[in-house]
Amino acid sequence: MKVAKFGGSSVASVEQLEKVYQIIAADSARRFIIVSAPGKRYSHDIKITDLLINYAECCLTKQSVTEVQQAILNRYLDICKPAGLENTFGQIKQAVLNLVDLPTDNEQLVYDTFKASGEDNNAHLVAAYLTSKGIPSEYLSPKEAGIVLEHSPHGAMINMGGKELSPDILAKQVTYVIPGFFGFSEDGQLCTFSRGGSDISGSLVAANIKADLYENFTDVDAIYCANPNLIPDCPTLKELTFKEMRELSYSGFGVLHDEALIPTFYANIPVVIKNTNNPSSPGTMILPDSHATEKRVVGIAADSGFTNIYLSKYLMNREFGFGHSVLNILTEFDLQYDHMPSGIDDISLIMRQDQLTPDIEKRLIERFKTVLHVDEIKVTHHLSMIALVGEGMKQNIGVASRATHALSINQVNIEMLNQGSSEVSIFFGVNEADEDRAVKALYEEFFVM
């Protein structure tokens, strides 16, 4: 069996749904289908998820909801009407209108429920569409699909104790359509992933049914070794390891959610990235086993919007529990860090800048001073993190040297360098203004012969 996930652009219109139907009809092994909410049809279009967030905000602030309700319903109607799914649209309409009756005492639950309705309604729509085209299909809820999650302020987290599907579900000869992006906690409360979380839903279902393959359909032919908008002629990648893809996704590659590979990794299930608009393209295969090639670097990723909090204290290395105290303070402020390079007398906390309001930053600095008695604190905003990724780096000497030299001759100052002992990736912190120049310099060094 295969699990196939279709992203927002793949289900944004009835024309795209026809492509989804053709893909599913071409392979009877594609029995479990994960769908996102309808995405953008064109560059200035609005995703249904964004409309639903606006809808929730209007409800919470007691504003008029008429306009946003109509915008949401129009998106579904534009798909249902030409497909002859008037009855399905009627059910979706009622579900959208009923959202205003939700209790508003738990704001996070309101947002989660509104957002999840985008995928939920679309799964009903896609199941009806496939059935109308001759593929018997049924809606399957995330709960029935065994998607068990844990609450987190930054988006639901995977519970690796997911549940196997019932034998009756597996035995039934139908195609199941499952809404992505959300699931339920052990106590039955709905919770959503961070943006792009339908990728994780597909991975969890693949693990739960012990699929032979997880296919992730998107709007690009394959994964590129760098940003093709910045480097138009950069090559695509035929194959990656899980570790390489995880590093690239986390570091700015937007093709796949950075947490999506975890369930398939543990279940030893290969993943392939394919294009809904060009399904005959082989795509990029992501494999559990390491096939580290002679290539030192397989990809370059970049992501902006980081802050570096630099803490310095003489004899820090002799002070028991200093790092533990740093982490405790971050926990107090509900902050997550991405990197923590250190020296004997200093430590840097690299984190997403959008977590730090001016008030939080001020209170955090005061807390560090009060608890840790540091000699110096310096905060640097507007950093980009550039990642060189490749499992082959550990078999090759001098990758870091070549990278730093390439950045140097292109006048890119390195604010931070971090390399783990696994040697799968090297991270360079640079000013956001230098990001594009840094990526181009590294691409020239490692990919241009």
- Extract the annotated binding site: 5-8, 49, 119, 218-219, 224
Half-sphere exposure of 246 (CA within 13 A, CB side): 16
Which regions of 106-197 does DSSP assign to beta strands (E)? Answer: 137-139, 148-150, 157-158, 175-179, 182-185, 190-192
**Residue 173: closest CA among 29, 4, 18:** 29
**Nearest C-alpha neighbor of 32 from the set 212, 287, 220:** 212
Residue 154 token pair:
């930054």
The residue type of 126 is: V
d(CA 418, CA 396): 18
Provide the β-strand partners of residue 214. Answer: 3, 271
Binding site for substrate, by residue number, is 49, 119
Is the distance from CB of 75 to CB of 118 less than 8 angstroms? no
- Reference 367, options 380, 385, 342, 349; nearest CA is 349
Q: Are the C-beta atoms of residues 126 and 20 closer than 8 Å to each other? A: yes
Residue from 226, 249, 250 nearest 237 by CA: 226
Residue 103: both structure tokens together: 């209790």
Instruction: Record the tokens describing residue 357, joined without a space.
Output: 């309001």
**Cα distance between residue 348 and residue 169, in whole Å:** 50
Strand segments (E) across 153-254: 157-158, 175-179, 182-185, 190-192, 213-218, 223-224, 236-237, 239-241
Strands 213-218 and 2-6 turn out to be parallel
Place of tokens 């059935």: 131
Q: How many CB atoms lie within 10 A of CB 191?
A: 20
Rounded Cα distance between 78 and 12, Å, is 10
Instruction: State whether residue 269 is helix, strand or coil.
Output: coil
Contacts of 290 (CB under 8 A, 6+ apart): 241, 243, 391
Binding region for ATP = 5-8, 218-219, 224
